[in-house]
A and B are shown apart, each in its own frame.
Chain A
């Protein structure tokens, strides 16, 4: 981990879903509305719930998720909210597959993009285990949250955290944020909210879900892809928040896939040689050339 890495702790229990962070992100980074196709296909503004964009995209680098849970008889309900963005993974799938060096690790441990180096190959889009990074049809390059690199350089921290009225988003040194998260989980557990745990780092907490469809299930802090510099305090299983329970690096497949390809190529070589040495003659081909004796290679 980068010494003095900076990141964010997202305490979902404090989120009221006001979307101040989403607006601040749009404003600071001068992000336009989504492209015409997204508007046409009703992906730009859902208007089906309080969740207005539904997903992260090249122009929505932050997205406040609304998760509505009802009891079967619909007499009980709860909202889970979560301000989502790039996690600035310690082992970032996007960065590991980038073939041009456009994606890079900053001095703050975050993952940024050199826009003028990106060729728009979209390999990172398929590699991110969280579905974060997105292709921008307008520029032919990819975009995602860059943790307000410019603000970090001037010591201002991220625009989203600055605008959050409930401190659901906190910007700071990852080590400090981890201590803060551990304390917050302990506090919630002491209040009987044993659902609380940390997604991104293993700080040693475990608990039991007390509400919703997963009531009774055990939850534990989890370190994923080497740790997340933007990490979360959750109150239900990761899948409820649209997060993978076991995100993986795409590189896990590289050696075995290359190995299978190599073995297949070797078998092909032998098959090809055998085909020329032990050829099975075709049924009579009209006007075909007469059989020839093997000849030396010229």
Chain B
């Protein structure tokens, strides 16, 4: 069967960055929701500082998207039925068979919710002039945070489901992209939390992050194994396994598998202490930074795999 593929423009670096940034915001918010509702005092302190990140990250994602697509006012067509599309009922637009439509609403709600941890971070650092009580209640209410976590995870999985629902090689060859994307988002969130816990010398939180990273990397490893096995069984794994087009295979194996999954998994399960030129490379700060690089490599390699499939 002939393969048709999107223009290279579609898979440019900006889109990888957009997905990475929005996924990271989702992952961090997921961690904050857990820390604020089930964590100890120290976890909540780390969560409060991390609260500074999701809102600006979502803002960066919105700016990147605007630069990528141009004409931001046209985005309103995603939400409100344009009068020119008279065949569709209004006033809000919803195409039930388009994941992008659901995703738009999910991201919109999630973007609004990121204001809560941001205000809580301001409150925590004494920079919020008013509304302390309500912000604290909102940021620590178990039901509210559960809803926030649901939106965070939905945002994390969105790009993966979007890629799955296409006719592009690798992207739509399996059902697993949505699962992979949400797990890599959470991985990014815990990696960022690891860096914060290390910098804040929050020992208790570091313990939770290590345990969390262990479980999440294990889950990511299982999903990646199923994903690759699935592609191999279908005979379409070449772009991810062997092509250097757009650095797809190196980014996937070294970045996504090596840095984001295997390294954190080994360090967290064995508790090994590795020293490299007097730097403790098994510290959560280093593990977290490398894992974030790996999460970006994952987005990059998956996004470019469709192009690599055709180049191959």
Q: Residues of A with Cβ closer than 8 Å to B?
A: 93, 96-102, 104-105, 114, 116-123, 125-131, 134-135, 137, 140, 239, 242-248, 250-251, 253-254, 256-261, 263-265, 267-269, 271-283, 285-295, 297-298
B216 touches A251 (CB 8 A): no
B87 touches A104 (CB 8 A): yes
A102 touches B212 (CB 8 A): no
Contact A275:B77 (CB < 8 A) given known A101-B82, A116-B82, A268-B216: no
B58 at the A interface (CB under 8 A): no
Using CB atoms, name the residue of chain B closest to A130: B4
CA distance A164 to B214 in the complex (A): 66
Chain B residues in 8 Å Cβ range of A293:
40
CA distance A123 to B156 in the complex (A): 19
Q: Can you report 18 residue pairs joining A to B where beta carbons are below 8 Å apart?
A: A99-B98, A101-B77, A101-B82, A117-B84, A119-B75, A120-B69, A127-B167, A137-B9, A140-B70, A244-B2, A261-B160, A269-B149, A271-B219, A272-B31, A272-B212, A288-B202, A289-B202, A289-B204
A272 touches B165 (CB 8 A): no
State the majority secondary structure of interface residues on B: helix
B6 touches A276 (CB 8 A): no
How far in angstroms is the closest Cβ of chain A from B264?
Answer: 13
Contact mask B153-184 → A, CB, 8 Å, 1/0?
Answer: 11011001110111110011001111111110
B99 at the A interface (CB under 8 A): yes
How far in angstroms is the closest Cβ of chain A from B169?
Answer: 10
CA distance A293 to B31 in the complex (A): 20
Which parts of B163-220 form the interface with A (CB within 8 Å)?
Answer: 164-168, 171-172, 175-183, 186, 190, 198, 201-204, 206-212, 214-216, 219
Q: Interface size (B, Cβ < 8 Å)?
A: 94
Which parts of B111-152 form the interface with A (CB within 8 Å)?
Answer: 136, 140, 142, 149-150
Which parts of B65-98 form the interface with A (CB within 8 Å)?
Answer: 69-71, 74-75, 77-78, 81-82, 84-85, 87-88, 93, 95, 97-98
Q: Residues of B with Cβ closer than 8 Å to A?
A: 1-2, 4-7, 9-10, 30-31, 34-44, 69-71, 74-75, 77-78, 81-82, 84-85, 87-88, 93, 95, 97-101, 104, 136, 140, 142, 149-150, 153-154, 156-157, 160-162, 164-168, 171-172, 175-183, 186, 190, 198, 201-204, 206-212, 214-216, 219, 223, 268, 271, 273, 284, 306
